[in-house]
Structure 1
Amino acid sequence: MIRVLLADDHRLVRTGFRVILGLEDDIEVIGEAEDGAQAVAATAEHAPDVVLMDVEMPVMDGLEATRRIVAAGGGPSVLILTTFDRDDYLFAALEAGASGFLLKNSSPESLVEAVRVLARGDALLAPEITRRVLSAFARPVPSQPATRLDELTPREHEVLVALAAGATNAEIATSLHLGETTVKTHVSRVLTKLGARDRTQAVVMAYELGVVRPGQ
């Protein structure tokens, strides 16, 4: 079972998420929080696999709560869910260590799929969010030493390009004719060599360093 914690200051929203996720045989909502501080405490207590995190909440906002959950290490993946379609929230969420970002007007099917994707250890951005991330890096990359890229093997470089395209481990395994365990090892090495916190940050770095270009 995928264990999910809901963090939102609106009870009606939490109830809606609980109903949607409760229809799935492989997902269990194991707790709720109505502010960021409660989310941090509940994460430590219940050890969920995925936290659905609102941004604007009292006491502690969702971005700070995400930072603390990620900084604790070994914790769940955080999926940011917000009604606010703002770039500052998007990039702050990625910087905080969130593994996914969805708007609350996404379909129930998208929410369920996002929970499953994050539970597998992959990252997810809604398509409209991905376009904005790519747009943000659609500028000339300044000349600078690419020592971090130089450390990647040719196979690791291929894996990074696939990550930037939004491929999951299973999809990378199929396209490169590798086992999923091998792919996980390559992904781990890519993150270590780039100094990336997670897959999402590795994707952002791939665009920043010019490994791939928007529209490529």
Structure 2
Amino acid sequence: MDEQPADSPDGGPADTLVRVLIVDDHPLFREGLRAALETDRGVRVVAEAQTAGAVPDAVADHRPDVVIMDLNLPDASGLDATRRLAAQSPHSPVLMLTMADDDGSLLAALQAGARGYLVKGAGREEVLHAVRTVAAGGAVFGSDVAARITTLLAGSRLHDAGQLFPSLTARECEVLDLVARGLDNRRIARELVVAEKTVRNHVTHIFEKLNVASRAEAVARARDMGLGDS
């Protein structure tokens, strides 16, 4: 790919070329997003990735100014990839662009280190503004989620798992809290006075609803929400 500075809209060289990495497992979405971003001559998509596992190499190879990250990826959560980037590659901040608009996902993204959060369906200008803002070191959130951030960060709902994980039943929230405390299924069964098989079923349902693939990932999500405290 040609990496020479792009022209600005007025025909002169762009003052600052914003280099973008798109991380999403849907090819048609990536194609549409690339086309929308590159209508601005000051923005260039330098790479794409389909999985969380491909992100570190893509960042190392292309050194993007912004990583646009989906929350749900086939091999791991975008939250895990965001957390690693925030720790290892702070020069490549993450703008989360996802279908998830629930409070739990929003707060988890913030705590993982995302510098922006938009819901898919945001307009081209809103996405471009977010990309420029994050690349410049700022933080930006969609108009539909910004009003909820103060309440979430104030902590008044941090431990209300029913609101942070609205897809989970009350019992599943209870099980998730115990999982986050490090209890195995046998100990959880004793704690709740239920059969171990019942706990296994709850854990399976939790994995499906939170779109996680492992117990460790479920624990990370729960602890991001403040669950699992002794």
4+ long deviations beyond 3 Å: 137-140
What is the number of equivalent residue pairs in this alignment?
140
1:121 has 2:137 as partner? yes
Task: Trace 1:1-216 onto structure 2 (pairs within 5 A).
Answer: 1-136=17-152
Shift, 1:139, TM fit? 7.6
Q: Distance in 2 between matches of 1:70 and 1:137?
A: 19
- Shift of residue 40, structure 1, vs aligned partner: 2.4
- How far, CA to CA, are the matches of 1:115 and 1:138 in structure 2? 26
Runs of 5+ consecutive residues of structure 2 not aligned to the other structure: 1-16, 157-230
Is the CA contact (8 Å cut-off) linking 1:53 and 1:62 kept in structure 2?
A: yes
Distance 2:119 2:129 in 1: 14
Which has more radius of gyration?
Answer: 2
- CA distance in structure 1 between the aligned counterparts of 2:102 and 2:56, rounded to whole angstroms: 24
Give 3-state SS (helix, strand or coil) of 1:106's partner: coil
Q: Residue 47 of structure 2: SS of its match in structure 1?
A: strand
Q: Where in structure 1 are there 5+ consecutive unaligned residues?
A: 141-216
1:19 to 1:70, Cα distance in 2 relative to 1, 3 A = same
1:138: how far off?
A: 6.2
- 1:135-166 residue CA offsets vs partner (Å, 9 max, x unmatched): 335688xxxxxxxxxxxxxxxxxxxxxxxxxx
Which residue identity is paired with 2:108? A
TM-score (norm 2): 0.58
Residue aligned with 1:4, SS:
strand
TM-score, reference length from structure 1: 0.62
